[in-house]
Structure 1
Amino acid sequence: MTTTTAFTIAADGSYAARLAGEGDALYAERWTLAGPEAYAVPLPLAQPEEADSEVLPLADGRVLIHRRVAERHAFALLYPTGAETGPSTGELQLGGVAAREGVRVRLLPPCPAGSGAFALAAEDTVTTVWQVTGDPSGPRPVARIPGRCSGGVWLDRAGRLLALDRELEGITKAVAVDLGSAAVSPLLQITEDSDDQLLLADPDSGLLLIRSDAPGTARLGWGVLGSSLPVRFPECLARLGDARPFAVQPGQSLMPETCGVALRLPEGDIGLWRPADRQVFRLAAPTGWLGGSGLWNAQGRLHLPYATPEVPCGMVGLNLPVPPPPPVVLEPPTPTAPRPVPLQQAPLAGR
């Protein structure tokens, strides 16, 4: 039985990576997505990878791997080589960080800058952001944030502003971390005691996908980075249950309402939605979908990776349907929901 693991796509959509293989014989696999047809390149080493290893594609075609080795978290770059005996895998060791009890270390999503990669080390009282590539001396800490942080969403194309969900004194709020200055500032503050998490963001339009219990129960909502307009919690999203947004359409500068959003629905299907729409389009996931992953292009087409015995490396494209025109309403409807609460001024105000 082939193992299904996390599938991660580079920020520019050029490459992707995952752990592939069967049983205990796992290896890193790189997918090339920039050409006319996707193809996979296996990157096996003499020793198989552990199931809890993480892989991350870089824009230059190399694959970063994070392994737990004895008492440390080790990082290395894998890349295909053309040895005399045939294709093989090169490995460049990057060093590591100490493994300590109660500290979870994991890779952050691919950096929009392309070649940089970062990891998050979270403990109960403090969280450290590590830069794991780009420094010849090995991984180095670039920011320390009071509290236990999770998540990880990039807010700009330069890879400098990172949003994290910080738990402090029993309440979770999204904060923005400037990795250049290590400054931490509030990002979401919908109500004083609500848990406000950032799930996804689009740097072009400023669209934010949020989960908050400010409306009374945890619900999906959306807002705009740097805007004084309130966060909105559409009823069509509330009916989806524990859906997770996994991709947002780029290139829609200053038009967040027109961005396509892809959601993984609790039953495993796919939901397609725009903030301007009042409905979510439900579509069956393709057979072999590497669940929770996909890539929008600026033209509004969603590409989903899948792997089957017949097609071990495939991408299927979907277009966001055009919603029907809304019905004519002769009288204004009676309000049934409380006024949405505002999104606090964000670090990128003035955009």
Structure 2
Amino acid sequence: MTVCAIEPSANPGNGGPPRAGCTITAKGAYAARLALSGDSWYPERWTLDGPEPYAVPLPGHQPEEPGTEVQPMDDGRVLVHRVAAGRHVFALLYPTEPGTGELPLGAVECAADSAGLRLLPPVPGGERAYALAVGPRTTVLWQVAGGAFGPERVAEIPGRCSGGVWLDRTGRILAVDRETGGRTKAVVVDLERDGEVSPLLQIAADSDDRILLADPDSGLVLLRSDAPSPGQDRLGWGVLGSMLPVRFPECLRLPDCVVTPFAIQPGQALTPERCAVALRVDGAFGSWVGVWRPAERQVRHLPAPEGWLTGAGLWTADGELRLPCSTPRLPCGVARLTAPDASGVRAEAARDASGGRAEASGGRAEAAWDAEESAPGEPGEPGGTDTATPAPRRPVPLQQAPLARLVTK
């Protein structure tokens, strides 16, 4: 399962997508969020890999601040990141009888002129957790969970870094967006080589190139760049290890909307153009879901299920999109959508009398969605077989293709 990278900024103008409603582990077994009870916030863990989803509240000794970060671990514990008196304090929460157990992990102190510290998306494997501390000229990568002696300083990266996308299944290769000299370029950080930094996205010398999402199985990456339209960010896609150019489909340009990819369908080895991509679309009238494949010329726009924890979701390898939802009637539910394949087959979804809203069924929300058919475009990569095992891939910089070869279909 592939899930989204999360950027903490809620301002799309700085290149970062809005904050997601919850965080899901790389394997999709657990999710975590801050829930509200009256005027008090508390962490809540969701279990997603059982017969039905269910939530476990994890209130501490006192209510959490609204800006507290929470992240699920693969063993079912929840990492919590609190800020107190300028110190960033980390702990692991777990359910006990009665109450909530808490294992303190230690704290990180940031310099007064720093931009703070934030958690990176869940690491594949789920045993470790990392955070970025951004300073005026450098960024420090910290391992804040899974170490032997509390938070450990892993690497210092020149420049101001944002974003954060894992490019492999082992949690070794991290891509971040680094700002230096007034320009932002995505770079790769190798955690097994003492934080060695190498280029990843350099589409044009004077462009801002950010990586948003990646799938290790197919190598598909989603990015945002102003290279094709200076001063205007465009969504594009490329393939790690490929010599084909980065492409910026016209269908991903939606006037007056912010489009943020948040999940890629995994398991499509050697066929990145067939991967379904889930998009969060934010417009003047709210947020909704888009589904797109690189092989298609259109985005399928779908109403968001009732209570969607906006921006959160995951794909299964067989093409089911799962969106966590919470309503007063169904506090913990999952809306499910079977994505159409690349040949334009109509999406299959359950229908009910609610006219497009999610209906509860034994703790599960079944989405009553439908998608219009659209003719597929030409694939952007040569095809392959779904059953082939991909060779180990080290990220190859996506700057070899000149802009003259960009396509916008």
Deviations 1:199-233 (A, max 9, x none): 00001100000100000121000000111110010
Q: TM-score, normalised by structure 1?
A: 0.89
Q: Is 2:55 the counterpart of 1:44?
A: no
Runs (4+) off by over 4 Å: none
Distance 1:325 1:24, change over 3 A: closer
Match of 1:271 among 269, 284, 290: 290
1:22-51: CA deviation from partner (whole Å, max 9, x where unpaired)? 354111100000101100000011211111
What is aligned with 2:192?
Answer: 180
| Distance change (3 Å), C-alpha of 1:77 and 1:312 | same
CA distance in structure 1 between the aligned counterparts of 2:21 and 2:39, rounded to whole angstroms: 16
What does residue 144 of structure 1 align with?
156
* 8 Å contact from structure 2 (residues 209, 225) kept in 1: yes
Question: How many Å apart are 1:325 and its aligned residue?
Answer: 6.8
Residue aligned with 2:273, SS: helix
User: Deviation digits for residues 172-222 of structure 1, max 9, x if unmatched?
Assistant: 000000011110000001011100000000011000001000001210000
68, 78, 85: which one pairs with 1:63? 78
Alignment RMSD: 1.8
Secondary structure of the residue aligned to 1:317 is strand
Would the alpha carbon gap of residues 274 and 292 (structure 1) be closer, same or farther in structure 2, given more than 3 Å must change?
same
Identify, as 1 or 2, the structure richer in strand: 1
Change in 2 beyond 3 A, CA 1:125/1:239? same
1:5 touches 1:20 (CA, 8 Å); kept in 2?
A: no
Which of 321, 339, 343 is the equivalent residue of 2:398?
343
Unaligned runs of 5+ in 1: 329-341, 347-351
What letter matches 1:10 in structure 2?
T
Q: Secondary structure at the match of 1:144?
A: strand
Q: Report the secondary structure of 2:327's partner residue.
A: coil
In structure 1, the residue matched to 2:46 is 31
Separation in structure 1 between the aligned mates of residue 323 and residue 146 of structure 2, nearest angstrom: 30
Q: Secondary structure at the match of 1:61?
A: coil
Q: Secondary structure at the match of 1:75?
A: strand
Distance in 2 separating the partners of 1:155 and 1:288 = 31
The answer to whether 1:129 aligns with 2:144 is no
Query: Does the CA contact (< 8 Å) of 2:88 and 2:109 recur in 1?
Result: yes
| Structure 2 residue 219 is matched with structure 1 residue 206 | yes
Take 1:27 and 1:197, find their aligned partners in 2: how far apart are those partners? 33
In 1, the alpha carbon distance for the partners of 2:69 and 2:213 equals: 20
Residue 263 of structure 1 aligns with an amino acid whose one-letter code is L
AA aligned opposite 1:302: L
Q: Against the structure 1 CA distance between its residues 78 and 325, is the aligned structure 2 distance closer, same or farther, given a 3 Å change threshold?
A: closer
Alignment partners' CA distance in 2, 1:232 and 1:287 = 34
Q: 1:67 to 1:285 in 2, by over 3 A?
A: same
Closer, same or farther: CA 180–16 of 1 in aligned 2, 3 Å: same
2:173 to 161, 171, 174: 161
Note closer, same or farther for the CA distance 1:161–1:345 as it changes in structure 2 (3 Å cut): farther
Q: Structure 1 residue 242: deviation in Å?
A: 2.0
- State the match for 1:248 in structure 2: 264
CA distance in 1 between counterparts of 2:136 and 2:110 reads 15
Give a deviation string over 1:86-142, Cα, whole Å, max 9, x none: x32100000011033232200000001211100110112000110011223210111
TM-score calculated relative to the size of structure 2: 0.77
Cα-to-partner distance string for 1:316-349 (whole Å, 9 max, x where unaligned): 1012224257499xxxxxxxxxxxxx93269xxx
Most deviating of 87-96 and 54-63: 87-96
Q: Spell out the pairing of 1:278-317 with structure 2 (5 A cutoff).
A: 278-317=297-336
How many Å separate the matches in 2 of 1:80 and 1:43? 6
8 Å Cα contact 1:228/1:344 also seen in 2: no
Amino acid at match of 1:343: L
Which has the higher mean CA deviation after the structures are superposed, 305-314 or 17-26? 17-26
Other structure's SS at 2:28 match? coil
Greater relative contact order (Cα < 8 A, sep 6+):
2
How do 1:87-126 residues align onto structure 2 when only pairs under 5 Å count? 87-103=98-114, 104-126=116-138
Offset from partner CA, 1:134-178 (integer Å, 9 cap, x none): 223210111111000000000000000000000001000000000
Q: Counterparts of 1:173 and 1:261 in 2: how far apart (Å)?
A: 23
Secondary structure at the aligned position of 1:132 is classed as strand
- Do the aligned residues in 2 keep the contact of 1:72 with 1:97 (CA within 8 Å)? yes
Q: Note closer, same or farther for the CA distance 1:326–1:134 as it changes in structure 2 (3 Å cut).
A: closer
Deviation of 1:5 after TM superposition, in Å, equals: 7.5
- The answer to whether the Cα contact below 8 Å between 2:296 and 2:375 also exists between their aligned partners in 1 is no
